[in-house]
Amino acid sequence: MGIYFFPSEFVYWTENTEHSKMKDKLMAKIKSTENTYKDNTPGVFNAFTSFSSTEANKEMSFLGEPDVLEALVFKPYKQMIKEYNLRGHTDKLVIDKCVVDAGWYTKYERGGGFKIHNHETCAIQQEGDIFKSAFSFIYILNDKNENNGTEFIVPYMCKTSATPDEDYSFDTGDVSEIKEGSIIVFPSSLYHHVNPCSIPGRITISYNMKCCHASP
């Protein structure tokens, strides 16, 4: 007897062990840029975001500082790869190179949320290598709500027939340990949305990572 698992969507979460040290610094930086982005509302309601399809504003450079990227992207990325590859009877994730493609924050008012979307974008080429959308990261910087609002969805037309004929979802609000200070890592292709929050002031920081997979 045996079983083989095809690679699949997943959601990984961990804690930023430096959250208490980083929070005040990042909150101050975000507050200083709010006026620039308060009217930037694509995809959100009762909220605003610094996300832009154009080149990032210099005001957002603090999200790319080495210590910030190490804590919010590279450290949880390495932990996720290790955890994912513990699963037997499936292909392993073997990444040759990776680049952080974008970083932005979103601030939610009372009743604020984010419409369903994913983070897949066009591939880029650097020094002859092709980097494709691979992983996305959400860091819950500030959130006084009882439950986290992010819900992940695999639409019924994209899921296996072995499960009921309906959308498959994972509501992170059902997991008590996913809260302020948590970092969530998931494939950029995975659809998700943010349910309306009850307490205003929720702030998340997000990143996209593009990867060049190693040859088998």
141-162 pLDDT tens trace: 999 999 999 999 999 999 999 9
Q: Is residue 3 part of a domain?
A: no
Q: Whole-angstrom Cα distance, residue 209 to residue 73?
A: 9
Q: What is the mean pLDDT of residues 104-112?
A: 97
216 falls in which pLDDT band (50, 70, 90)? low
Q: Is residue 1 part of a domain?
A: no
Q: What is the mean pLDDT of residues 60-81?
A: 95
| Domains: count for the chain | 1
The answer to whether residue 111 scores a pLDDT higher than 90 is: yes
- Nearest by Cα to 117 from 194, 46, 48, 47: 194
Domain, as residue range, for 104: 12-213
Lowest model confidence (mean pLDDT) among 9-18, 37-46, 55-64, 166-175: 55-64
Residue 58 is predicted with a pLDDT of 60
Q: Is residue 4 part of a domain?
A: no
CATH number, residue 57: 2.60.120.620
Q: Is residue 7 part of a domain?
A: no
Q: Phi first, then psi: what are they for 125, rounded to 5°?
A: -120, 130
Q: Is residue 151 part of a domain?
A: yes
Residue 52 is predicted with a pLDDT of 82
175 falls in which pLDDT band (50, 70, 90)? very high
Torsion angle, alpha carbons of 52, 147, 157, 191, to 10: 20
Q: Is residue 2 part of a domain?
A: no
* DSSP summary character for residue 152: E
Q: Phi first, then psi: what are they for 110, rounded to 5°?
A: -60, 130
The answer to whether residue 7 scores a pLDDT higher than 80 is: yes
Q: Which amino acid is at 92?
A: K
The answer to whether residue 55 scores a pLDDT higher than 50 is: no
Q: Is residue 85 part of a domain?
A: yes
- Nearest by Cα to 114 from 183, 30, 39, 191: 191
Q: Is residue 64 part of a domain?
A: yes
Residue 213 is predicted with a pLDDT of 84
